[in-house]
Amino acid sequence: MLNVRDLHAYYGKSHILQGVDMHIGSQITDLGPLEDAFKLLVEFVGTLRADGHTISHVDFGGGLGIPYQHDLPNPPEPAVYAEMVKRVTKGLDATLMFEPGRVIAGNAGVLATEVVWVKPGVANPYVIVDAAMNDLMRPALYDAHHDFVAVKPTGETMMANIAGPVCETGDTFGMNREIDAVKSGDLAVFRTAGAYGATMASTYNSRPLVPEVMVEGDRFAVVADRIAAETIIAAERVPEWLKK
């Protein structure tokens, strides 16, 4: 953490700071490290104010982690997190700011997909789905876990690898996983895809972006249209000097 001397060396003594922020990491599910960090930041605000800085805004960074795996303990509830913040910041007299996007959006979204083929494997079969790494990048990017469940489970399970149709070794969603038993044509979902799902998607290999559908009870609406491959290609231009 920067100290006051560092700040003066960088900004100059006359520069008045109005806010500070911090970020100690993502997907934290233990309040202990967050509380320790928040206490340090509150102490730092006091030091800065004693040196003449205003500090009217304090940004505590990202929010709580969320339960990506159903068989792991649930993280603390937001209300418990809020009580900790209230206790640590009592008397701070500043506008508190947070960036809790994942805890709001994460479990609000799923990626729906269809099983294309259950391909026999040496140890376990490969469940090939029509979703791919371009639709949900997190597993390929940093081996993130997303529960995979059948829309209409039979009660039976199977050990399998889950993969997409893109010709990349990284186009896998899970290896050696116990999942609902599925077959070609079945519908399934990857859970907890509401955060860092659509925002990280791409049109890799000219695959269209999937549409986004908002659901409430028995109502639904398409809130982001599918971008077809033809639309992507239509936006490309051949320079005149290549046409000759």
pLDDT of 156 reads: 98
Radius of gyration of the chain (CA): 24
Tell me: the pLDDT tens digits for 11-21?
Answer: 555 568 899 99
pLDDT of 244 reads: 75
Active-site residue, selected from the candidate residues 122, 167, 235, 242: 167
pLDDT of 167 reads: 86
pLDDT of 50 reads: 94
Q: How far apart are CA 139 and CA 197, in angstroms?
A: 10
Q: Is the pLDDT of residue 46 over 60?
A: yes
167 classed as catalytic? yes
Tell me: the pLDDT tens digits for 187-244?
Answer: 999 999 999 999 999 999 889 999 999 999 999 999 999 988 888 888 889 899 998 7
* CB 190 within 8 Å of CB 111: yes
CATH number of 109-207, picked from 2.40.37.10, 3.40.50.2000, 3.10.20.30, 2.40.160.40: 2.40.37.10
Q: Under CATH, domain 4-103 is a member of which superfamily? A: Alanine racemase (3.20.20.10)
The alpha carbon of 179 is separated from its chain's Cα centroid by a whole number of angstroms, namely 22
Element (H, E) at 40: helix 31-50
Non-local CB neighbours of 153 within 8 Å, separated by 6+ positions: 180, 181
Q: Where are the domains of the chain?
A: 4-103, 109-207
Q: How far apart are CA 22 and CA 45, in angstroms?
A: 12
Phi, psi of 93, rounded to the nearest 5 degrees: 55, 60
* CB 118 within 8 Å of CB 127: yes
pTM for this prediction: 0.85
